[in-house]
Structure 1
């Protein structure tokens, strides 16, 4: 016995779950977007600050080197004056060498002959005896007329002082090589300049020439001075770009940094500041952990609440289904009640009308039930009704079959899609099972069964099927009870009503 069983109202679990997950993901995406913007803002603030600092330091270095270079150019031009040999050595010193040559952190300016010998010295009237023909700066100017200002790699004096050479070529009027004017600058100048700056943990600043030789670095390490970084990322952009930025891992100490670089004026120098990525995002990481923890907690609570909600909705749906089942089921026999029979009969009647298939109905009545009830008591009567219900339930195996307690001692069996012969077979099966049950329960009464079968159409209703089965039941009782009687009302193959 099944028929149209009341089902629990479907809970849109997947939709609710998808909606909950969607809300959690949307909220997480919004928070992630905010955190991303915060990280991006920290990055651009750091980059902007580094760009401004590098520009400022580059301007400072450029101004000082430019002043020293002007002094070198003045000497290179002055030594070619023919009147220079006619004046006294003291006056020649004043004419050739200005006060810039005696500034702090600047060494003496030397004038070298074509052979590399010192001919003039800004610090003394009597030049020392020395030859610099083997020095890189001398050889560069000797070979190239367009070398301009040459800044050498750092070198160490006999006193252990680190210097760089700044030099220019002296050319004759025909462009031939006439010597070199060279000066020196102490690396302590750059060291003192960098030392005034406040760097974060892991940050760095470096000054190197266009050949990739390190001239100064902060934090200061003497072993890094003179080291070549020609393979660094900056030389993939320079000289095509005179300034820029990039992120990479340092070749010197292997720390990942944001580097901002800039050429120092028109001189062959580059300054670069490296900001450690850990330092740039230090505050952001704290905010990430804080906000991330809050968001994760909220998402976790939301998911837990969502599962509780889904579970509550499922329990409610199951409870409603059970209530609906109880409302449509006879408590004593476990069969459907009359309300459910009427609803199911209307549905199956309409379905049979569309499919032009027969619908059969059995009306079953327990014979002499009132007398039996008065004789053996209501409990025995209830036991009889329970036994009849069990026989009906075990005789209706199809999903669409429906056994119901019609009222009192009356029962009904709805058999959609079954013709008259099949309906009679089910009716006889019910009687046979009651007969078998009577062998163990001798007081069990018999039943009378009326069978009706109609093919639904627009001229009839489901009430006609009930009426026909009820008339067949009365006929079974009139003929002596304990039998099956088929209603004479039926339909032929053409759909016309006839009486069997």
Structure 2
């Protein structure tokens, strides 16, 4: 007996949920974009600061090496003067060696002959007896006339000092090898230079030659001096690029860092600063967790609020549906009311018009109801109406069937798609069920039923169906009640059917 039940108002739950989650995700995406930009700025600032520091250090080291190299070149040119050996040893020292040779962190400048023996020493008039023919800074110049300034790998003196040698070739007038002028620079110079800088706990500063030999590193570890780092990523860029940056994990201590490197002038030296990524992003991580916590809290609050609003909207929709159901239902009998019957009939009539299928209507009236009501009271009368309604509800099994209270003691049953024969069976079923009921000690009143069946077409309207069923009901009452009368529409005359 459902007929056209009032449909629940659709709550766009999925759409509202998608909108709410979309807004939260958009807000989160904006925050992620801002955080990403902040991280990039921190990275860029760290790179720029390291680049400036490396350039400053490289410039200072280059200047000192250039000054020392000028001293070496002056000695190499001076020893070839024709009368240099004729002057006194004191004057020769003044002519050949300037004050740079006695600067802090610089060792003696030695003049070696073609056999590698020491012939002159900047620190004494009587040079020590020593031979350096097996040292790399001697053999390089012996083998290559165009070696220029050579900077050796670090080596240790008998006193335990770590030095690097800077040397130049001495050539005869015919270009043949005449010896080497060699000076030394203590690695403590670089150690003191790096120690002046402020580093993070995991940052590093490295000086190494182009062969990958580490000359100095901060934090300082004597065991790391002389270690080869030829496999470091810097050599994937050098010598194609004399400066640059990259991010990698250190092959020395396995800490992930941003490295910025630069060649020291035109010398075979490279200096690189490594900034720990954890140090670079330390402040950023604090901001990340703070902003992340705020965004997460706002997201949770938004989702909770969204579900609360969805619940409120759903409750309102359910209330509206319930009101609509109450507005279309008769309170006493639980059947549909007249308004819902009219709406359903209009829909089913249009459907029957499209499908060319019949629509049947039963008009049911409780016989002598006023007299019963006056005799037994209104409560007994209401019980009769409720019983009739139960009989109608029990008989209308299909979803499309609709039982309704038409008004007072009058009921209607709409049967879409059922012809007259089926409608007559339904009417008999209602009357038979009603006969089986009793209300206390009182016999139930009988009912009169008017039946009409019309196939919708251009010659009829739904109003014609109601009018035909109503006229058939009037005919049943006029003929003595307690019977079924089929409308003469489509028949030659009404056919009464008495109770069995």
Question: TM-score by structure 2 length?
Answer: 0.95
Q: How does 1:88-487 map to 2 (within 5 A)?
A: 88-438=88-438, 443-487=443-487
Greater displacement, 24-33 / 367-376 = 367-376
2:384·2:439 contact (CA, 8 Å) conserved in 1? no
Shift of 1:214: 1.3
Shift of 1:170: 2.4
2:204·2:217 contact (CA, 8 Å) conserved in 1? yes
Q: How does 1:20-59 map to 2 (within 5 A)?
A: 20-59=20-59
2:383·2:439 contact (CA, 8 Å) conserved in 1? no
Shift of 1:143: 2.4
Name the SS for the 2:274 alignment partner: strand
Q: Which residue of 1 aligns with 2:82?
A: 82
Aligned residues: 494
Shift of 1:142: 2.2
| Distance in 2 between residues matched to 1:174 and 1:328, nearest whole Å | 123
Shift of 1:385: 0.8
Shift of 1:334: 0.6
| Distance in 1 between residues matched to 2:493 and 2:162, nearest whole Å | 129
Question: TM-score by structure 1 length?
Answer: 0.95
Q: Which residue of 1 aligns with 2:497?
A: none
Shift of 1:468: 0.4
Name the SS for the 1:116 alignment partner: coil
| Distance in 2 between residues matched to 1:15 and 1:59, nearest whole Å | 65
Greater displacement, 401-410 / 372-381 = 372-381
Q: Which whole-Å deviations, capped at 9, do the CAs of 1:202-226 have from their partners, x for residues lacking one?
A: 1111111111111111122222222
Greater displacement, 364-373 / 83-92 = 83-92
| Distance in 1 between residues matched to 2:146 and 2:435, nearest whole Å | 127
Greater displacement, 216-225 / 278-287 = 216-225
Shift of 1:262: 0.6
| Distance in 1 between residues matched to 2:123 and 2:379, nearest whole Å | 135
Name the SS for the 1:8 alignment partner: coil
| Distance in 1 between residues matched to 2:441 and 2:243, nearest whole Å | 108
| Distance in 1 between residues matched to 2:192 and 2:33, nearest whole Å | 43
| Distance in 1 between residues matched to 2:107 and 2:357, nearest whole Å | 117
Unaligned stretches of 5+ in structure 1? 492-497
Q: Which whole-Å deviations, capped at 9, do the CAs of 1:213-270 have from their partners, x for residues lacking one?
A: 1111112222222222111111111111111111111122221111111110001111
